[in-house]
Amino acid sequence: MAETAEGRGGGRRSRGAAGRRAERGSRGPGLSLPYITRKINTYEVLDEEGLSLIEANADLILEEIGIEFRDDPETLKLWKDAGADVRGERVHFPKGLCREILKTAPSVITQHARNASRTVEIGGKSTIFAPVYGPPFVRDLEGNRRYATIEDFRNFVKLAYMAPAIHHSGGTVCEPVDIPVNKRHLDMVYAHMRYSDKPFMGSVTAPERAEDTVEMCKILFGADFVDQNCVVINLINANSPMVFDETMLGALKVYARNNQACVVSPFILAGAMSPVTVAGTLTQILAEVLAGAALTQLIRPGAPVIFGTFAASISMQSGAPTFGTPEPSLVSYGAAQLARRLGLPFRTGGSLCGSKVPDAQAAHESAATLNTTVLAGTNFVLHAAGWLEGGLVASYEKFMIDCDQLGMQQRFAEGVDLSEQGQALEAIREVGPGSHYLGCAHTQANFQTAFYRSPLADNNSYEQWLAEGEKRIEERARVQCQSWLDSYVAPDLDPAIDEALKEFITKKKDSMPDAFT
Amino acid sequence: MAETAEGRGGGRRSRGAAGRRAERGSRGPGLSLPYITRKINTYEVLDEEGLSLIEANADLILEEIGIEFRDDPETLKLWKDAGADVRGERVHFPKGLCREILKTAPSVITQHARNASRTVEIGGKSTIFAPVYGPPFVRDLEGNRRYATIEDFRNFVKLAYMAPAIHHSGGTVCEPVDIPVNKRHLDMVYAHMRYSDKPFMGSVTAPERAEDTVEMCKILFGADFVDQNCVVINLINANSPMVFDETMLGALKVYARNNQACVVSPFILAGAMSPVTVAGTLTQILAEVLAGAALTQLIRPGAPVIFGTFAASISMQSGAPTFGTPEPSLVSYGAAQLARRLGLPFRTGGSLCGSKVPDAQAAHESAATLNTTVLAGTNFVLHAAGWLEGGLVASYEKFMIDCDQLGMQQRFAEGVDLSEQGQALEAIREVGPGSHYLGCAHTQANFQTAFYRSPLADNNSYEQWLAEGEKRIEERARVQCQSWLDSYVAPDLDPAIDEALKEFITKKKDSMPDAFT
């Protein structure tokens, strides 16, 4: 696996960026579903009064308490010039200033993929699923919990590429700790570009790594195209409460300047980084996003920016993060409403859990998070598959189990078919009282697409399940995962572009000593 | 366990029915939460147009195709007298007839419990959780899958009695197959009356068993009280498509005549008992409920009746029932809307799954069903805990896992607290940028109630989890379950009433030979 797979399909003719983009849906394993355009309602937990109250309180925080932008004189000057009251590193915002500045931010972002049929619209009725982001560990197919490697990273990129209901390659699908910390971003970005043709995320761990990401995007998409279009989106976490640090600001500035999207995300473990209440947490989230997102517009008006949030809470006994509990669900629903009122695309949720193994705890916590995420009307869903153990572990088995659930959510989002075919009156007439629908014409005609078909759920008889070895779902997931990895075929990549990317990486790596911290 | 426990607490003074009802919340282990009064929105999948379309189609089925009432001349005569067009056993309903008849049905049902503090209101904003109904098998605490016994039955009654977020004792929590089939209803009803003081369900497997249930209720509550109040609710399944059989009609008539509640529930495995589409299934459900529910009003105008549905689908490959998939969720949401428009309390959902063990499959399927159930605004939730393997098995472990989820749903249903306390502005002011909320005054003041606290989720560090034996959630559930059973204390029951119940049962049993089929 790994580098040797790169050559596959590379024999095709070379294409320019425009040519590649024109080739709609002509490649790939043909498994992937288009991103979700929700035909269902969003679920809301706040009424007009509640929303106005939280907005007013957020304004109050911005004006009275302020937000800190640390170790970044450039940002402080931008705020001063924009009319904010800057005291030291603390910025106080006159009422309405951030909202006014944010008027230039687009409400829908088109993030281009190198395969144009994978390009996504982030905003409005869209929902895009992306894999887990950040785990330093994996649970591998042999059942070991160990540090992640670049091979794991590539594997998760490949799995996300093959997963029908994953629409985005994500970012740090796991931390490849076998690569020096100052160089691994190059291998990560390259893996997304080479082993998938879905849209992806860039490096945010240092401004120069963000610059490298943009440079590599220019090689892949063309420099002019990148300047005018969003080709990479990037996770900018606030240091809640009410702080943005140098690292995040550095990355944010690079991406905004280059017209690439930032997901400004307060990373909230309520009770530690925000108040122990839903309304208080929402207020703080809104204030932080208003300040961070507005900053992107000061850097480049019109730069794409996403209202992000990561909602969890802590155990008041141990301080440990907890997932899938009711309060973070309420936060996610509320934050989605606040984002819609602000006219920004929204990110939250995923398939979060605290469990150490893909058991019923993991599933319940993930289900609670994911269901909320979809019904909230979330546009960009990070951590949609593979997240285990509070995000410390990327699990192969759970990745597959989550993918099945994503497929169900995608089907659910189609809503109720009220066409004549959906009404099925003819079937009811044909069958009549006391019979069954198994053989009727309508059933026969809709046999293939009638119901979502889970590739992992066991619905056989108990006796058959016994005969097949009493397998739990994670055992079936393991088999499916290995079979996907075995049958993976890389999408085509213009060999000239591939060469250029590799050359860039080699040059960059040679220019730095290895750093492991 | 079992009979020997009956005497506990029996030394208290004897109380009449009125006296018992007056004793609001003075007994019980003090764990139970009141039934849910939802402060959250309901989620809807159909707009006005869709609802009207399905209603019109249901009217069309009722008029054109009709519903069969089998082997029950009395019912056919009732329909004829009411103005329906009766041809053989097939009843055709003039447009609007069923709706007109249903105008006498109450929109909210008060089901009394012998402990008045456990009395529930079924309808409107209420949600009531009741345990699994019907499994012939159990998965016991030793991990065996075996036929259920009366001891299992009593155990599940006890567990439901002790579970904070279970508000109802349910009915056939499992089939006690060690008791003759023609006598076991007596032991089941007695167990609900003796080992719990929550409201419960009656026997529906034969008209005379329904009569026995009513007689026992009269002993417990007093005959006059029973005639004027609902003290037992009863599951009347339609034989979908479009048939009600003699057994179900017999029970329905007994209960309606005695002013007790029927849950008229099309038991739908879509694709077999209804069309393979959501809209088609909803149409048939509505037609069946309209006919079955209206019948209760012909028998006794004003008798309480609930719009029930059980929504699952089948695998189009194997014909096996499948659970937790998107289509049944859409059916449940839609059916809830139809019930609200009809002005009837609504039953659907629970924690359904097809899995053979309480693994991630079981949890995902249960979560999808339960979350839908709650957001749909369901009033009466059967199968809320313990359901495994398509309802063939009552699982002790899953019962505990489900109860944890019910607690979370109950908390979620409280919605967002927008009080000054909830807004937490003082906390945000106190903490300010870059600090944390762990020790602030607001956190200290709300420490106990801040977040839902799961008794089963493990949120400890990986190292601690390892040190504690790498337990999965079902292992923790097993321990919790045993500890509950060990610490169970029966609620008081007037010894005179208890004697009278036992006398009734003995007499009844002595009057019949044992029957095992």
CB atoms within 10 A of CB A200: 28
Place of tokens 């943009």: A214
Amino acid, single-letter form, for residue A477: A
Cβ–Cβ gap B418/A50 under 8 Å: yes
Cβ–Cβ gap B273/A437 under 8 Å: yes
Contact B307, B335 (CB under 8 A): yes
Q: Report pLDDT digits (tens) over B132-178.
A: 999 999 999 999 999 999 999 999 999 999 999 999 999 999 999 99
Please tell me if residue A349 touches chain B, with a CB cutoff of 8 Å.
Answer: no
Contact list, A401 vs chain B (CB under 8 Å): 360, 364
Please tell me if residue B460 touches chain A, with a CB cutoff of 8 Å.
Answer: yes
Does pLDDT of B507 surpass 70?
yes
Contact A293, A102 (CB under 8 A): yes
Mean pLDDT (chain B) is: 93
Contact A242, B431 (CB under 8 A): no
Q: Which of B269, B364, B395 to mutate to test the interface with A (most CBs of A within 10 A)?
A: B364
Dig out the tokens for B1 from the structure: 């366990």
Does pLDDT of A74 surpass 60?
yes
Query: Which residue among B41, B357, B446 places its CB closest to the CB of A276?
Result: B446
Averaged pLDDT for residues B1-8: 31
Q: Report pLDDT digits (tens) over A443-502.
A: 999 988 889 999 999 999 999 999 999 999 999 999 999 999 999 999 999 999 999 999
Q: Report pLDDT digits (tens) over A84-107.
A: 999 999 999 999 999 999 999 999
Cβ–Cβ gap B57/A317 under 8 Å: no
Does pLDDT of A10 surpass 60?
no
Q: Report pLDDT digits (tens) over A263-314.
A: 999 999 999 999 999 999 999 999 999 999 999 999 999 999 999 999 899 9
As a whole-number percent, the residues of chain B with pLDDT over 70 amount to: 94
Contact list, B320 vs chain A (CB under 8 Å): 459-461
What phi, psi does B314 have (nearest 5°)? -115, 155
Contact list, A273 vs chain B (CB under 8 Å): 436-437
Cβ–Cβ gap A465/B356 under 8 Å: yes
Q: Which of B361, B446, B461 to mutate to test the interface with A (most CBs of A within 10 A)?
A: B361
Contact list, B404 vs chain A (CB under 8 Å): 364
DSSP SS3 for A8: coil
Cβ–Cβ gap A276/B424 under 8 Å: yes
Angle between helices A360-375 and A326-342 (to 10 degrees): 20
User: Can you give the length of chain A in residues?
Assistant: 517
Place of tokens 């679920």: A43
From the number of C-beta atoms within 10 Å of its C-beta (0-12, 13-18, 19+), residue B234 rates as buried
Confidence of residue B517 (pLDDT cuts 50, 70, 90): confident
Q: What is the pLDDT of residue A415?
A: 98
Instruction: Supply angle C-alpha A36, A38, A39, rounded to 5.
Output: 135
Q: What is the pLDDT of residue B23?
A: 35
Q: What is the pLDDT of residue B515?
A: 87
H helix or E strand, kind and range, residue B372:
helix B360-375
Place of tokens 């498509």: B241
Q: What is the pLDDT of residue A21?
A: 38
Query: Which residue among B43, B325, B405 places its CB closest to the CB of A451?
Result: B325
Contact A366, A312 (CB under 8 A): no
C-alpha span between B267 and B90 (Å, rounded): 20
Q: What is the pLDDT of residue B26?
A: 33
Does pLDDT of A162 surpass 80?
yes
pLDDT, greater one: B19 or A243? A243
Residue of A nearest to B464 (CA): A356
Q: What is the pLDDT of residue B112?
A: 98
Q: Report pLDDT digits (tens) over B457-477.
A: 999 999 999 999 999 999 999
Instruction: Supply angle C-alpha B261, B262, B266, rounded to 5.
Output: 155
For B385: left if phi > 0, alpha if psi spans -120 to 50, otherwise beta; the answer is beta
Does pLDDT of A16 surpass 70?
no
What's the ipTM?
0.93
Averaged pLDDT for residues B255-262: 98
Q: What is the pLDDT of residue A209?
A: 98
Residue of B nearest to A59 (CA): B425
Averaged pLDDT for residues B393-405: 98
Dig out the tokens for A202 from the structure: 């860039």
Cβ–Cβ gap B423/A57 under 8 Å: yes
Cβ–Cβ gap A428/B280 under 8 Å: yes
Q: Report pLDDT digits (tens) over B354-368.
A: 999 999 999 999 999
H helix or E strand, kind and range, residue A331:
helix A326-342
Query: Which residue among B40, B408, B459 places its CB closest to the CB of A45?
Result: B40
Q: What is the pLDDT of residue B394?
A: 98
DSSP SS3 for B424: coil
Q: What is the pLDDT of residue A13?
A: 34
What is the least distance, in Å, from the CA of A440 to any CA of chain B?
9
Q: Which of A388, A397, A459 to mutate to test the interface with B (most CBs of B within 10 A)?
A: A459
Interface of A with B in 282-311 (CB under 8 A): 282-284
CB proximity list for B404: less than 8 A, separation 6 or greater: A364, B454, B455, B456, B457
C-alpha span between A43 and A274 (Å, rounded): 24
C-alpha span between A244 and A75 (Å, rounded): 10
Does pLDDT of A3 surpass 60?
no
C-alpha span between B484 and B162 (Å, rounded): 7
Cβ–Cβ gap B361/A458 under 8 Å: yes
Fold that domain A5-30+103-412 belongs to in CATH: TIM Barrel (3.20.20)
Contact A413, A165 (CB under 8 A): no
As a whole-number percent, the residues of chain A with pLDDT over 90 amount to: 91
Contact list, B405 vs chain A (CB under 8 Å): 364
Mean pLDDT (chain A) is: 93
Does pLDDT of B288 surpass 70?
yes
Q: What is the pLDDT of residue A2?
A: 31
Does pLDDT of B501 surpass 70?
yes
Tell me the domain boundaries of chain B. 5-30+103-412
Residue of A nearest to B407 (CA): A326
Separation in Å, CA A344 to CA A250, A308, B152: 22, 9, 54
